[in-house]
């Protein structure tokens, strides 16, 4: 299956760009980090450990090890002459078997935030890998995404999406503050809604509750 086919079939007219939660009718926005400490830039900080725990717990609750997923990584290209041909470098530290990296597909698409491209030279490079969850070192990958604003290494500033082919969901940790979970039906994620209801972002909770009632 190709990513475009998956999106057209399950999430028609949805652009894979943040904020996902506000652009699809069925979804949950979870809060990952509570009461951020000013001294948060070390890994053993309780705030940071809490962020990691929530991100990994939600991921594992949504994805079984034997399920197939699309992992999509979007990279900004600001026309600064950098080469994006070494596509495996983005995934390599987070994939167990290097042979899986040969399945990566690369497409160049218009910059997904056109309002920020005044000169019209920006682009987005989208890298897609279809693999099993068990192929991914998802714990360090999720931690690196959460680290992007925490002054902790390693960190990943690219946007990373996990699309569960069987369950028809999209999971996106945007930074240490939170993550979005989208689905094609409420029933497919009702167990997660019930189990982690206390983690739902208060700001959007009333609207989310209406969807699942």
In angstroms, the CA 9 to CA 1 distance is: 11
Number of domains in the chain: 1
Helix (H) or strand (E) holding 72: strand 68-77
Q: Which domain holds residue 189?
A: 3-212
Contact 174/148 with Cβ under 8 angstroms?
no
169: left (phi over 0), alpha (psi -120 to 50) or beta: beta
| pLDDT tens per residue across span 3-30 | 999 999 999 999 999 999 999 999 999 9
Mean pLDDT computed over every residue of the chain? 92
Name residue 110's beta-bridge partners. Answer: 123
Instruction: For residue 147, give the nearest of 5, 47, 59, 67 by alpha carbon.
Output: 47
pLDDT given at position 202: 96
| pLDDT tens per residue across span 133-188 | 999 999 999 999 999 999 899 999 999 999 999 999 999 999 999 999 999 999 99
């Amino acid at each position: 299956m190709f990513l475009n086919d998956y999106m057209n079939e399950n999430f028609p007219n949805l652009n894979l760009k943040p904020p996902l939660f506000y652009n699809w009718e069925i979804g949950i926005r979870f809060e990952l980090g509570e009461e951020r400490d000013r001294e948060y830039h070390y890994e053993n900080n309780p705030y940071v450990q809490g962020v990691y725990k929530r991100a990994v717990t939600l991921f594992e609750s949504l994805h079984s090890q034997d399920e197939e997923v699309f992992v999509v990584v979007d990279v900004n290209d600001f026309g600064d002459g950098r080469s994006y041909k070494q596509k495996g470098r983005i995934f390599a530290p987070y994939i167990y078997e290097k042979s899986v990296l040969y399945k990566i597909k690369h497409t160049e698409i218009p910059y997904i935030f056109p309002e920020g491209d005044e000169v019209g030279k920006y682009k987005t490079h989208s890298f897609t890998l279809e693999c099993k969850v068990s192929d991914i070192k998802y714990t360090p990958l999720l931690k690196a995404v959460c680290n992007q604003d925490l002054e902790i290494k390693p960190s990943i500033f690219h946007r990373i999406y996990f699309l569960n082919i069987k369950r028809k969901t999209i999971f996106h940790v945007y930074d240490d503050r939170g993550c979005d979970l989208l689905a094609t039906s409420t029933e497919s994620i009702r167990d997660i809604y019930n189990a982690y209801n206390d983690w739902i972002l208060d700001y959007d909770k009333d609207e989310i509750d209406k969807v699942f009632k």
